Structure 1
Amino acid sequence: MEEILRNGYLEQLLSYRWNGQVKVITGIRRCGKSYLLRRLFRNYLLGHGVREEQIISVELDLTRDIRFRNPLELSAYVRGIAEGKKDEYYLFVDEIQMSDETANPYNPAGKKITFYDALNDLRSLPNLDVYVTGSNSKMLSSDILTEFRGRSDEIRVHPLSFSEFLPASGCGRDEAFEQYAFYGGMPFVLSRPNEAAKMNYLKSLFSEVYLKDIVERKKIEREDALGMILDLLCSSVGSLTNPAKITDSLKSRSRVSVSPNTVRAYISHLEDAFLFSESKRYDVKGKSYFDYPSKYYCEDVGLRNARLGFRQQEMTHIMENIIYNELVSRGLSVDVGVVFARTVNDKGSSVRSPREIDFVVNSGGRRVYIQSAYAMETPEKAAAEARPFALTGDSFPKIIVRRDTAGRWYDESGVLNINVMDFLLDKNLI
């Protein structure tokens, strides 16, 4: 397998060099964070005049570096190398969420020392540029804004996009898309020698990495419920749901009793591990969000397929998930759009009926509406997909992403119809 290029992320890292901030590389485990930092970025540095000894690398998930899980040990070790030296140093710390808290030796009963303290301390060294990777969103996204007091930059890494997957796959475009829709974009999949090895690898990620990590870190008592919630989310990607609905499904299908609050907490844990993202419903004209229901999308369709035993291959949902992931990986804000039409009910009264737009995509002051339609076999189906666009009451661009059309073309209403592969490969479209 040839080297996988992740130029967009590498360019982000290069733009943040020596800016005085802690660079925090986040994302689901095994999506390529360490590869980006310790291979692509490292090779760039070594090719541009940085010597090997100027790169301090610590991997907290390895027994070799286990003592550095103590933030005081980490700080002392790095200071011992870089402090007071004329050379510039780069610090790479892998899987920072595995760092432990430790008692303050000067005040054992006081607030514990955390990795935030260690990194804030090291960030003050003028000849040290700090980079860390982590797979815990709450520790590394929301809390970090407070703990680092605005002194950090986040680079969110996702599994391979289709544009990254295609050249590395060695396949033609159509075959690569079929593989991508089945196996997803976890980088290591590309190096597996056959179909069985690819499937087994993806299944083992869930059982041996993600679920074990969540159970141990969150001290989960209802592992059975966590697994069932995970299965429900995987089977219903692209469908509206909420904790109460999942609670009812567990009770009716499996006779498992779990409270909506527990379901809500377990979904939060899955989001925290970057396994799922929530897309909220947005009232396009009312300019407000609905609390529930929402849609949940899996971070990687290959992982979703593996969890379901590669049995549920509904391409309509899989393609919608792929499009959502592509939009998010481009740094765009993505909501489920809701518009309302006037219809007549059985009693002859006029009522407001909701209509859905798959994605309302915002970036700054720009907006694009997108429908995902795997196939539109009849004029009636095509009209149904485009109908919600007319209810928005604005002139923002409108796109229907399809598998059953070649290239791209505009219909008489100005709606762009585009093949899904063209959409995924055109970074300038939105």
Structure 2
Amino acid sequence: MNVEELKRIVSDQQETANEKLNDKRIIDRDVPDLLHYLIIPNALAILGVRRSGKSTLAIRLMRGKKFTYVNFDDEALRGITANDLRHLEEAIYQLYGEVDYLVFDEIHNVEGWELFISRLRDTKRVIITGSNSKMLSGELATYLTGRHSDYILFPFSFKEYLGFKGIKVEEESFYSTRKVAELKRELENYLITGGFPEALILGRSQLNVIYNDILFKDIISRLKIREIEKFREFCRSIISLYSNEVSLNSLAKTLRVDNKTIENWFFGLQNAYLIFPISRYGEKVKQRLTYNKKVYIIDPGLISSIAVKSRDKGRLMENVVALHLLRQKQMGEIYFIRNDYEVDFYDEENSRLIQVTYAMDKIEEREIKGLIREKNRAKELIIVSWDLEYTEKVENREIKVIPLYKFLLK
């Protein structure tokens, strides 16, 4: 592509970026200060599932900054090569002169992009976005070792969802009967609709569009999958097993697909941030690698749209708690424990054991026994319920029972 063609494309895209920058209807995301990562020669990578708002977040970070935005998902840039990237750089300088920040959206669509970013980040503050976790492996890890920071963006959390709905949450909200009723009503809606911005704006039917885009653009095309119908059946099976342990060997037998193919498909879902496997805790690393994993889905809205028997309230609650923990820890290690009793989450770093149950009247004995059985592992024992809130002592250990809405908002 020549410089003049690229100037036209970049100019059009910059206009769109400036509109987003000044659009007061856009909800600012509940994220930490990401700009402090942009110390030359460090690049910032904003990663996450397609349509989670990565582009908008990257642009909104540019308030008051002199920046240029390029979106490589634009069909006008289809076919651009690594050799064209120098022409793109020239087009930017001809249009805007020296800029302080460069935002490259979905740049992994260009094969060989890593060296381009490696060179630019020596003199510019560079943000890249991507919907494939493998974009920071391989060559990029070689060229930018220790010189990039990544942040994983999820669809709206419950707190962000409330912000989109115009509902303010303050400390006194938790003491108002009317406000608590509103929060629980919206939480019911959130468990069905989820937090994809497009689905909230355009309606739940958009979830199927988002889902198909993830499958075809981020997995099928990249893995060059030919057995598309079997792959789709596999995906629906995985999503239907949300908040459950998954045996890939069993799925391979059921679908009559070889184990290696099933493993590749599973990693494809994981690399596209559609699913998050959590390991069973074992004292030895080998145990953690060989045990079956529990699977959680990127957004409750996709569960309600795609999964078979999607309205299991307890499992939906557990999935939302998993996403909440993953957001906080940015993919840090979280485990589940299965011995005589199960503990849903073991947050080893923060010394917490967490059970999740759809309990409105009474906590079942097995939930308490699971925590007490493993009590020596953690300082804090928590049960997340739908409606209950109290603290009790069992075997000289304090167990906090917290309603889901408060767990997600505090």
DSSP 3-state at the match of 1:415: strand
Work out which of the residue numbers 310, 315, 327 in structure 1 matches 2:325.
Answer: 327
DSSP 3-state at the match of 1:283: coil
Deviation at 1:200, TM superposition (A): 1.2
Deviation at 1:232, TM superposition (A): 1.1
Name the residue aligned to 1:186: 196
What are the Cα deviations for residues 111-156 of structure 1, in whole angstroms up to 9, with x where unaligned? xxx10111112122x2x21111111111235653234222211111
- The residue correspondences of 1:194-343 to structure 2 (distance < 5 A) are 198-248=203-253, 250=254, 256-283=255-282, 289-308=288-307, 312-331=310-329, 333-338=332-337, 340=339
Q: Percent identity?
A: 25
Deviation at 1:88, TM superposition (A): 4.4
Work out which of the residue numbers 89, 92, 96 in structure 1 matches 2:100.
Answer: 89
Q: Residues 23, 121 of structure 1: CA spacing in aligned structure 2 closer, same or farther, 3 A cutoff?
A: same
Work out which of the residue numbers 379, 382, 402 in structure 2 matches 1:399.
Answer: 382
Query: For residues 33 and 186 of structure 1, what CA distance do their matches in structure 2 show?
Result: 11
Query: For residues 395 and 279 of structure 1, what CA distance do their matches in structure 2 show?
Result: 18
Q: Match of 1:117, as an amino acid?
A: L
Name the residue aligned to 2:15: none
DSSP 3-state at the match of 1:358: strand
Give the total of aligned pairs: 368
Q: Match of 2:36, as an amino acid?
A: S
Q: Residues 141, 410 of structure 1: CA spacing in aligned structure 2 closer, same or farther, 3 A cutoff?
A: farther
Moved over 4 A (4+): 79-83, 85-88, 284-288, 376-379
Deviation at 1:330, TM superposition (A): 0.6
Name the residue aligned to 1:370: 354
Query: Do 2:360 and 2:388's aligned partners in 1 also have CA atoms closer than 8 Å?
Result: no
Query: Do 1:402 and 1:419's aligned partners in 2 also have CA atoms closer than 8 Å?
Result: yes
Query: Do 2:70 and 2:104's aligned partners in 1 also have CA atoms closer than 8 Å?
Result: yes
Work out which of the residue numbers 132, 139, 142 in structure 1 matches 2:135.
Answer: 139
Query: Do 2:354 and 2:381's aligned partners in 1 also have CA atoms closer than 8 Å?
Result: yes
Deviation at 1:212, TM superposition (A): 4.3
Q: Match of 1:189, as an amino acid?
A: A
Q: Match of 2:296, as an amino acid?
A: Y
Query: Do 1:334 and 1:359's aligned partners in 2 also have CA atoms closer than 8 Å?
Result: no
What are the Cα deviations for residues 48-83 of structure 1, in whole angstroms up to 9, with x where unaligned? xx3xxx32211111133346x322322343256459
- The residue correspondences of 1:108-123 to structure 2 (distance < 5 A) are 114-123=112-121
Name the residue aligned to 1:360: 346
- Name the stretch that deviates more: 235-244 or 72-81: 72-81
Deviation at 1:373, TM superposition (A): 0.8
What are the Cα deviations for residues 183-224 of structure 1, in whole angstroms up to 9, with x where unaligned? 1111122212xxxxx221001112244334421221101112
Q: 5+ unaligned residues in a row in structure 1: which ranges?
A: 101-113, 193-197, 251-255, 341-353
Instruction: Indicate yes or no: 2:154 matched with 1:158.
Output: yes
Query: Do 1:358 and 1:372's aligned partners in 2 also have CA atoms closer than 8 Å?
Result: yes
Query: For residues 270 and 286 of structure 1, what CA distance do their matches in structure 2 show?
Result: 24
Deviation at 1:285, TM superposition (A): 9.5
Query: For residues 163 and 195 of structure 2, what CA distance do their matches in structure 1 show?
Result: 12
Query: For residues 159 and 142 of structure 1, what CA distance do their matches in structure 2 show?
Result: 27
DSSP 3-state at the match of 1:8: coil
Q: Residues 395, 231 of structure 1: CA spacing in aligned structure 2 closer, same or farther, 3 A cutoff?
A: closer
Query: For residues 260 and 386 of structure 1, what CA distance do their matches in structure 2 show?
Result: 38
Q: Which has the larger radius of gyration?
A: 1
Deviation at 1:29, TM superposition (A): 0.5
Query: For residues 423 and 284 of structure 1, what CA distance do their matches in structure 2 show?
Result: 29
Query: For residues 110 and 142 of structure 2, what CA distance do their matches in structure 1 show?
Result: 18
Deviation at 1:339, TM superposition (A): 5.5
Q: Match of 2:187, as an amino acid?
A: F
Name the residue aligned to 1:345: none
Query: For residues 360 and 75 of structure 2, what CA distance do their matches in structure 1 show?
Result: 54
Name the residue aligned to 1:416: 400
Deviation at 1:245, TM superposition (A): 1.8
DSSP 3-state at the match of 1:61: coil
DSSP 3-state at the match of 1:24: strand
Q: Residues 418, 404 of structure 1: CA spacing in aligned structure 2 closer, same or farther, 3 A cutoff?
A: same
DSSP 3-state at the match of 1:28: coil
Q: Match of 2:373, as an amino acid?
A: L
Q: Residues 274, 289 of structure 1: CA spacing in aligned structure 2 closer, same or farther, 3 A cutoff?
A: same
Q: Residues 318, 334 of structure 1: CA spacing in aligned structure 2 closer, same or farther, 3 A cutoff?
A: farther
Name the residue aligned to 2:61: 41
Query: For residues 37 and 386 of structure 2, what CA distance do their matches in structure 1 show?
Result: 38
Q: Match of 2:385, as an amino acid?
A: R
Q: Residues 24, 395 of structure 1: CA spacing in aligned structure 2 closer, same or farther, 3 A cutoff?
A: closer
Q: Match of 1:417, as an amino acid?
A: V
Give RMSD over aligned pairs. 2.5
